[in-house]
Amino acid sequence: MQNAIYLDPTRPTAERVDDLINHMTLEEKVAQMQYGAPAIERLGLPAYNWWNECLHGVGRAGIATVFPQAIGMAASWDVDLIQRVADAIGNEGRAKHHESVRQGIHDIYTGLTFWTPNVNIFRDPRWGRGQETYGEDPYLTARIGVTFVRGLQGSHHRYLKVAACAKHFAVHSGPESERHEFDAVVGERDLRDTYLFAFEALVREGQVEAVMGAYNRTNGEACCASPTLLQKILREEWGFSGHVVSDCWAIADIHANHKLVATPEEAAALAVKAGCDLECGSTYPALVEAVHQNLIDEATLDVALRRLFTTRMRLGMFDPSENVPYAHIPLEVNDSRLHQSLALEMARESMVLLKNDGLILPLDKELKSIGVIGPHADWDEVLWGNYNGTPSKTVTPLEGIRAAVSLATKVTYAQGCGVTSRDTSGFDEAVELALKSDVVVMVLGLSQAVEGEEGQEEGVEKGEKSTGDRIGLDLPGVQEDLLKAIHETGVPIVLVLINGSAISINWADEHVDAILEAWYPGQAGGTAIADILFGDYNPAGRLPVTFYKSLDQLPPFRDYTMTGRTYRYMTDEPLYPFGHGLSYTQFEYSNLEITPEQIGANEIVDIYVDVTNVGSLAGDEVVQLYIRDPQSSVARPLQELKGFTRIILQPGQIQTVHFQLAVSQMSFFENGTHWLEPGKIEVMVGASSADIRLRSEFEIVGEKADVSAERVFFTDVLIE
């Protein structure tokens, strides 16, 4: 079909897509709705596999640049850097795809449709997949998610660089062991103001090309076959025009586990009619029989196919390569020096200094002896997180420390214990090493064995699977016992944490001199850790999640109401608050100004604050803007993040940060719409949700108003 309309780039996309679909048989149409879409040789249609991953680098496709895990990138609070990272990942994905096509390879993990980002809300630290998210706050999640989508998809007026996908839609955050069968029951306001906020922003602001349905039910409806989620909200209300894909084998759950229908034919028909266009799984072949049984008609399949082939057209798959600018990205961008440098920059910015008593950090590079102890100290794979690529080189914490210190400094190492093992036989060696050291760097934490996806096999010992969710919040195994044993030597300790979620390190907080949260920092993690420990980089990461003291501070895992959860609703004092992070310098806030003091609906309030570096070192500060509505007629968060920016200041330097806050951002969802009420709004500016430096207020005047049509998602930030 050399002269086929669908191959003519001068024709309108809709016309090209209809031409292609009109030439297909029923069986061919159904086959194209599966993630491994086969070739149709008589139509000149090549095979295409829709399944690809790029959570923090192109995943599962050989050598690629491995950036910090998503939760670590979120801890940078640096959207400009995150967009550069996403742009780099998109470039690597494009280059890898075209190399695969040149070699005639159309397998899984070679396509241009990437099932990233994960914008679920990390509502409970027990959830094993929370590491894949941008944390617990809807605003931060949405802001980073939109940025990541834009970086991946590019800015061309016609073509997508790659197609991003917002997942998992919706109300999906554990338990992993029950995800194929549980029903997430959630109220209207929590659903809209917490769980759906980021998805709406990615659709409306980010123009994300795809949305992935979740495994679970939400309020009784299977997410991958939910008329409420997929039709009413996503398409009718938000205007989404891209395609919807199921999570993998979630369609089978509809009949086998959720038991909403009795047969695969009914499950497949239910999903497609609700708006799920593409299946990752093996149930959609039943659509052929479903048509014969009059459970669904062929015209409805055509609707799904139009969306799918429109995406492929937007990716330039049927156009001459000279027409598609992204088709010329060279393979050399993959794992390039530029991207390796970017991975180090991202790792540095992601790390959070939780504690630094006595200013033990930064360490002196001329120390006579440094002991490095712990199961994560010289283990490369633990730094990669999940859904990862394979770096050409990984620097472990031990390697990073050895490379950073003077030639005269002796660096010794002992593992001490395993991540989850109860074996203490390595304690004696570790204690002996500590006694011969001037300072000990202990590298402890979690791993994919104790937090991950249900059934996950990557990042764990061969033949084993991840436990998925965590049972508790403490360090697993005997790691805390090892920490206590080293503490008894009296040698100063710096604790470095490698993990993807909050840990209840109460004992360490009371006894250890300094604590650095490094997350799963990717291929350059060891270098970044050393740069911070020895003062070559001044840390400025901030927590995107609350660190709780214990499970006693959390509601039941299966309770999806937000009451008592996250910094927005909890009344207890946490171990470390959302937004927390220290620096080697100090910052002062002054001159908070709000204008006007009274404002109507659909207007902008200008908030100014001066930030001064009053310390002796240059450093970054993350300026955070929170609001509270104390006069609301309905239950509202205790505080809400509504703006942030990461700035760098030299010693003595002052910068004015200007937040432009849309009043519609104060709205809440009730009875099917977003309402703005008159009353006073408290404004809080500071260095964390708990470290509020300045407070003021403004007043919304007028009548209660429906602001659904005028809603603004993000606060503009200007540096003056």
> Nearest-CA neighbor of 539 among 439, 614, 648, 404?
648
Complete DSSP assignment for 646-692:
EEEE-TT-EEEEEEEEEGGGG-EEETTEEEE--EEEEEEEESSSS-E
pLDDT reported for residue 461:
85
β-pair partners for 40: 45
431 backbone dihedrals φ, ψ, rounded to 5°: -65, -45
Helix, coil or strand: residue 391: coil
- In order of 150, 243, 458, 713, the CA distances from 203 in angstroms are 11, 11, 31, 11
Q: Which residues are catalytic?
A: 247
Torsion sign over Cα 417, 375, 520, 547: positive
Report domain 337-569's class: alpha beta
Question: For position 1, what pLDDT does the model report?
Answer: 65
Phi first, then psi, for residue 96 (nearest 5°) are -65, -40
DSSP, collapsed to helix, strand or coil, labels residue 206 as coil
What Å distances lie between residue 141 and 78, 132, 640, CA to CA?
Answer: 12, 11, 13
Helices (H), 465-556: 479-487, 506-511, 525-533
Q: Could you tell me the strand order of the sheet in which 673-676 lies?
A: 668-670, 673-676, 705-706
Sign of CA dihedral 624, 541, 71, 210: positive
Residue type, 267: A
Which parts of the chain have pLDDT scores under 70? 1-2
Report the candidate in 522, 637, 717 with the shortest Cα–Cα distance to residue 78: 717
Give yes or no for a contact between 361 and 584, defined as CB atoms under 8 angstroms apart. yes
The C-alpha atoms of residue 262 and residue 257 are separated, in whole angstroms, by 10
From residue 601, give the alpha-carbon distance in Å to each of 203, 644, 655, 679, 715. Answer: 24, 23, 30, 11, 15
- Phi, psi for residue 480 in degrees, rounded to 5: -70, -35
Rounded to whole angstroms, the Cα distance separating 14 from 11 reads 8
442 phi and psi angles, rounded to 5 deg = -105, 130
At 221, the amino acid letter reads E
Residues 6+ apart with CB under 8 A from 112: 52, 93, 94, 97, 160, 162, 163, 315, 317
Contact between 123 and 558 (Cβ < 8 Å) = no
> In sequence order, which ranges of 161-237 are alpha helices (DSSP H)?
188-190, 197-204
Determine contact, residues 498/519, Cβ cutoff 8 Å.
yes
Closest residue by Cα to residue 506 from 546, 543, 548, 476: 548
Q: pTM for this structure?
A: 0.98
> Is the bond preceding 362 in cis, omega lying within 30 degrees of 0?
yes
Let me know: does 256 contact 281? Beta carbons within 8 Å. no
> Are 537 and 346 within 8 A, CB to CB?
no
Residues 591 and 658: beta-carbon distance below 8 Å: no
Sign of the CA dihedral running 181, 187, 189, 190? negative
Contact 138, 192 (CB under 8 A): no
The token duo for 99 is 């190399």
CATH number for the region 587-719 comes to 2.60.40.10
Distance of CA 20 to the CA centre of its chain: 36
Token reading at 342 = 């970017």
CA distance 92 to 100: 12
- Multiple choice CATH, 26-327, 3.60.15.10, 1.10.8.870, 3.40.50.800, 3.20.20.300: 3.20.20.300
134/85 Cα distance (integer angstroms): 15
Q: What is the dihedral of CA 164, 169, 171, 172, to 10 degrees?
A: -70
Q: Which residue has the tokens 């060279």?
A: 330
Domain boundaries, the chain: 26-327, 337-569, 587-719
